[in-house]
Amino acid sequence: MATPVTESNSGPSVGKMFAAAVILAAAGGVGTYVVLAPSQSERILATLPPLPSFERKPAALEQRLHAAHAAARESGSIEDLIEYVTLLHANGFAERAAQGWLLLGSVDPSNAQWPYYLAHLRRDEGDIGETARLLGQTVEIAPTYSPAWLQLGDLALKSAKWDLAQSHYEERLHLVAKDPYARIGLARIELQKGDRSAAREALNEIVKDHPQFSSAHNLLARMYREDGDKDLANRHRWEGYRSGRFITAEDPWLRELEAACLTPSMLFVYGMVEFQTGRGDLGRSAYERAVEYEPENPGNHELLGDLYRKLKEPELARASLRRSLELSAASGTSPSLLALIHLGAIEREIGNFASSRAIIAQGIESHPASPELQVELGLSLDALGENEKAGDAFRKAITMSPNDTAANFHLGEWWLRRDETEQAIPHFEQSLALQPTFSPSLRYLLQYTLGTNQLDKAQEYADTLLGAYYGDSEVRQLVAICYLRLGREQLTRNETATAIDRFRTARKLDADDVDIAFELGTLLLAEGSFREALPPLETLLKKRPTDARAHFFLAQAQLMDGRPRAAKSLLEKGLRFAEQSGNRSTAANIREMLQAISR
């Protein structure tokens, strides 16, 4: 490895340069000294940041930085200096990069990128005042660079400088019409000033224009929860969850830095953010570059294999994970637990059950205390038809980790396949100890408690499930059934008002369910709430177009709502269906109502 250049050997000193610039000139017999300012290249060479230490850095980065440093020393040009400083910043050498951006700012003060990059370094150090000053300098030079205005707004907001923050956000909006980032900043200002109505209105406008903007959904969910509107809170919480992780505003100048990164640990961070936010190629190129720059690191191949698995690329995942294990074996280190688990799971998922079992068995030799490996062994054995051994593996995993979510869930399933429900339920309950919103267990438990008429417990599971998965259609239907059952239970106790509330909740969740429409519509009709009864009774008729009773109930609501012609038409149709089906009781009721209308 080449010896890093230090401050003492980084080139001619500033003093020597200035001394060389002193010229003695004679004019008219009088001696004068003229001091010439150093040239641009001399200033660059005089204060060029030295090379950093390369301990634990990939060889590719060391080679690139040495070449860039040598080029800058040789030419003294701005172009070579920019490449060198960019590499420093992009790869985490903050102190050296800060020196470089200061130098560039002195020799090329008309470029706004230098104070912008320096601002980000100061922000990472926690120097908010200097960050704001440098961002202000950025927009003075480049008033159309919108990311800087947004960051100035965010800094002012965090410092409770509401008017200043508003001014900066408005500048951003002038450059980026309907920008959700600036608009949510303005909504937060309204909230801080105590105008919840204006903040809520602004947030609803944001999600209307940008349905995938998770931050606005999450803030709305919090506000509706505080206001006691559980339904809207759950709806926006789900939309925020479905929209994914918060995505920072696009920033072309920072993208330029990322492109110069050769440090695997930083590339994996960039890549994971890309994957979690659904951007670009979902982080694939960043992960692959990390492996390219440090190909002998087994951990890099493991991370790449994990990403390939998430991207539904099993063959690529297998190759990367096998390479990770090969490198570990070659270096004499213990194989990675996660690499073994992921590889075993992939083999099982593509149907190579025997291979999966062999890989997991190898893993257990290296990591005998791992409950995760026991769970994966149980799944492989189950797939191979060795059911009793599978159950033993799940039980062993629980012995190692009594609250392990996966082990308890899979053992619960194992018992269910044997029709041993009483044995299964405690394991489903235990699987929620560490993950209270674990959907598969919640669904099983909700169905079981509904089936055994344990409605109080069922409501607890239903509310937890709905809060976490509000937008999942199957969850909504299942929870709607729970609230339908709860409403019926309230009716048996003559608690009509509570029953109506339960049926209303059920209908919000599943507006097309015919049983819910019947229960709510007829109950509202009986209670005299004719106008509110109309929508569910219309749903009832739509779902049961030949049901005479559906015609009869809806006609009653229409008649009481002042619509006798519509009611009469429905009654006449209903009478024909009642007579055709031999439903004498309903036919008699319809005739009586028709006579009343005629009178």
For residues 333, 335, 338 and 339, what is the CA-based torsion angle, rounded to 10 degrees?
Answer: 120
What pLDDT is stored for residue 56 in this prediction? 83
What pLDDT is stored for residue 247 in this prediction? 84
DSSP strands (E only) in 175-334: none
Q: Candidates 3.30.300.30, 3.40.50.720, 2.60.40.720, 1.25.40.10; correct CATH number of 512-599? A: 1.25.40.10
What pLDDT is stored for residue 43 in this prediction? 86
Which positions of the chain have pLDDT values less than 70?
A: 1-37, 599
What pLDDT is stored for residue 36 in this prediction? 59
Summarize pLDDT for 359-372 with one digit per residue, the tens: 999 999 999 999 99
Of the candidates 137, 132, 124, which has an alpha carbon nearest to the alpha carbon of residue 157? 132
What pLDDT is stored for residue 14 in this prediction? 38
Fold of 349-435: 1.25.40
Cβ neighbors of 535 (< 8 A, separation 6 or more) are: 521
**Which pTM was predicted?**
0.81
DSSP 375: H
Q: Classify strands 22-27 and 30-35 as parallel, antiparallel or unpaired.
A: antiparallel
Domain residue spans of the chain: 1-109, 349-435, 441-510, 512-599
Q: What is the 3-state secondary structure (H, E, C) of 476-545?
A: HHHHHHHHHHHHHHHHHCCCHHHHHHHHHHHHHHCCCCHHHHHHHHHHHHHCCCHHHHHHHHHHHHHHCC
Summarize pLDDT for 175-214 with one digit per residue, the tens: 999 999 999 999 999 999 999 999 999 999 999 999 999 9
Distance CA 305, CA 310 (A): 9
Fold of 441-510: 1.25.40
Domain 441-510 shares a fold with domain 512-599:
yes
